Structure formats: C-alpha cells, structure tokens
Amino acid sequence: MVRIPEGITLVVGLGLSGRAICRHLGRRGVPFMVADTRAAPPGLDDFRAAHPGVAVHLGPLTGLDLATVEEVVVSPGVDPGTPGLEALAGRTRAATGEPLVVGEMALFVREARAPIAAITGANAKSTVTTLVGEMAREAGVHVAVGGNLGTPALDLLDAAPDAELFVLELSSFQLETTPRLGAETAAFLNLSEDHLDRHGDMAGYRAAKLGIFRGARHAVVNAEDPMTWPDAPVPALDRFTTGAPAGDDWGIAGREGRDWLMHGTTPLMPAAEVRLPGRHNQANALAALAMGHRLGLPLAAMCAVLRCFPGLPHRGELVAEAGGVRWINDSKGTNVGATLAAIAGLGPTLEGRLILLAGGVGKGADFTPLAAPLARFGREAILFGEDAASLEAALVGQLPLTRADDLEAALQRAAAIAAPGDCVLLSPACASLDQFPGFAARGDAFRRWVTRHLAEEGA
C-alpha cells in the first residue's frame, strides 16, 4: 500500500485533461502526484520529462492509502466510483468544505475572474459553444473558448489571462465532479441516451448534466425537452423551440410568407439566412442567441455570425452540393439522438429525399426511434459496420434498406441512387471504432471519397 504524504494533491488520469490539471498545479506550485489505472498510459514518458520528480502510481487505485490526501482531482474519463475512490464519496476538505474528490472545473472556478457561459447536452454542444464564442468575438469581446472542445479550461486561465468571457463546452463527466459552476448563463440543449455505462441510467445521466445549473444566474433550456429543465429554481430562464414561441420564448414563426427566428413577438432574422443547414441548427442558433442576449451581445453582431458560420467539421458539415445532391458529413452523430436531430432538421428542408449512411458500434442503443422519421423523409438507409444488423431490424419495413461492407461501399451505393433534391447524410447513430480510429477519421474518409467522386464525375 502506497501512502499519499500529507498535503499532497492526487491527480487521477493522464489523459488530455489530466495533463492540463498537472500543468495547472505545477504552475501554481501545488505539490501533487499522479495515478493512472493503466500500466502504461500513452504519453507517460513526455509527462515525466515535463514534471521531473513528480511521483506516478500505475495500476489499481486500491493500492493507494488516501487517508491523508489533501485533495483528489479526477480527469473526466475517470469514474469517481472507481475502486479505491469510492470510499471518499461524501468526504469534504476541512479547509473549504468542498468535496474531497473534484474535477478540473472545480479548480477552474476557483480562479476564473470573468463570467462563464457554459453549454451541455447530448448533442450540438460544440456547435452552440462555437457560435456563442464567435458572436462574442464579433461584438468585440475578448473571449476564451474551450473546455470539452479544443483547449482544456484550465489552460485557458493562462492562455487568456485577460479574458472578459469564458465560453465552455462541458460534458456530463466534467459536470458530475463540479460542486458549483456559477455560470452567468448555462444552456442544457437536449438529452438522449448516451454514456449509460458511466451513469447507470438516464436519470443518472440527466443528474450529471443538471450540474451545469448549480449557481447559475441564467438558464437556457429546450422547450421541447423537459429533461433539460432544471429541478431547482434558477434566477432567470429562457426557452428555445423550433415551433412558434410562447410568451417570451425563442422560436420560429411565419411572417410575410417565410419563417423567421423570433424572440417572443420580435423578429430577429429570416430562418433561411442561417447558414447552418436544417431546423436543428436553427434551434442551435436560437440557443446561442438566448445566451448572447443575456450576455449583452448586440443582435447585429450575433446575426452576422449566423449568416456566415459554416459549421464545425463532422457536425452537419456540408461537404459538397453537385447535381442537385447535397453531401453532409455528420460523423459526430455517434448516438441515436444526434442522428434523429439531423434527420428531423434536414428532412423538411429537402425537395427530394434523404439517403442515410449509418452503422458502427451501437453501444447497445435502441435504434427504433429512427424508424418513423426515416419512413417520412428517407429514400434509403445504407447500413454498415458492427451493428448494421441491429439497425436493419429496427428499420425493416419503414424504407428500403441496403447492407454495405464498409463506408466506401455505402457511399458507392448512395451515389448510384441519389437524385436531384436528395441529401446523402452520414450520421451513423453509432461510434466508429469498429472500422475507424474515431469519428473524425470516419468523417475525413467521407469527405475524401465525396471530393474524389465528384472530381471524377466532373461535377
């Protein structure tokens, strides 16, 4: 049994965030040591070179005596219930009364001196985070954007010491170890089945996400998804919807023959002028507008961003439009909820039909919710990967189905059947690790094939 010396902070996990935690503690002269349950975590040699003299424990955490540890800071990828940590649940630090086990965001909140705009959700949080950041920049605000997206939050403290606003994407893993975020504005966009291996069930997943509202002065929630609504009162709250807004909500309503983004009865901009395609992205735009409004950003600056922002790679990315066919890379659609949003958002906007490319590692998900919208909007679903059979069983009888060996074969089939007005959508509803290193590699493969195919066709 390895005893942690008194006054030492233990950092658990040597992933991207874990190393950011170590850099943060090192810059502030806080004595710490590191533990990782893996025998040989990637980047170990680089870590030791960067932090000479810092003790590293590899293997089960049950080999550590934590009786006198000062604080335990866990990386987001580390379950606080990991054997060796579970005995610390409910224990607090005598000096501050905070939980003894916290995550990176607890350290961030202690030092952040600018307002925080925080975004979570099962899907679309990267898009809304980036939109709010771009809106702030357009308005002349010195903004720092990161968290679960891009730069780790703790690195932002030193990278942007004069930031006037922090815009942070936060995962359920980060939020469950954050005692109090205290955001100026906090958005919970949507909730669908994901990460149940960590949180146990949807109630546990939702409870972790709701941590975004602890200490928040303003909440933005999805009017169409009550699971995003806070359980405890928040001083101010805005709701967004893809329907006509009720009261002072943010929504979409018809005026003079076309749809407008609205705040209550106030028209903001024509919905068709939002560059991001689909109704779901108009909902993302409304969430960003609600947050920006709370932050005092000028409407003109926010609408200017919405008119020009093309979207993030692999998240509803329009790769090409040729011969009347749109090719959209939504490889980040790694769960059913994300794919549902893409289908429901794009389907009503098409003159033709939707050709869905789906499959991969389904993580035990229920694919049946995809059946009804695909029956309504789909021309064909082309299925590949480890859980293609499960997708087929859920969709049979709703639209034509084709099984393909891999993504390239699926793309060849899509190109053969696509008609003008159609959209070929890669939104797999599955993780990619059966055939790709990650969703980005899958999306890159989609983009390369489409680009090469259209060049060969002379489109």
The most distant pair of C-alpha atoms in the chain lies apart, rounded to whole Å, by 74
> Can you tell me the distance from the alpha carbon of 61 to that of 59, in angstroms, rounded to the nearest whole number?
6
b/e code 378-389 from CB counts within 10 Å (16+ = b): bbbbbbbbebbe
Using DSSP's 3-state secondary structure scheme, residue 16 falls into helix
Rounded to 5°, angle at Cα 309 from 306 and 312: 130
Dist CA 377 CA 416 (whole Å):
19
Number of H helices, E strands in the chain: 15, 22
DSSP per residue, 19-56 = HHHHHHHHHTT--EEEEESSSS-TTHHHHHHHSTT--E
Give the end-to-end CA distance of the chain in Å, rounded to a whole number. 66
Question: Of 407, 417, 414, which Cα lies nearest the Cα of 444?
Answer: 407
Please name which of 217, 214, 212 lies closest in space to residue 187, comparing C-alpha atoms. 212
Distance CA(146)–CA(425), nearest Å, equals: 28
Residues with catalytic function: 125, 148, 195
Separation in Å, CA 95 to CA 68, 71, 73, 92, 180: 13, 11, 16, 9, 17
Note whether 250 and 290 are within 8 A (CB): yes
Strands 258-263 and 250-255 come out as: antiparallel
Of the candidates 260, 314, 363, 364, which has an alpha carbon nearest to the alpha carbon of residue 123? 314
Q: How would you class 67 by CB atoms within 10 Å of its CB: exposed for 0-12, middle for 13-18, buried for 19 or more?
A: exposed
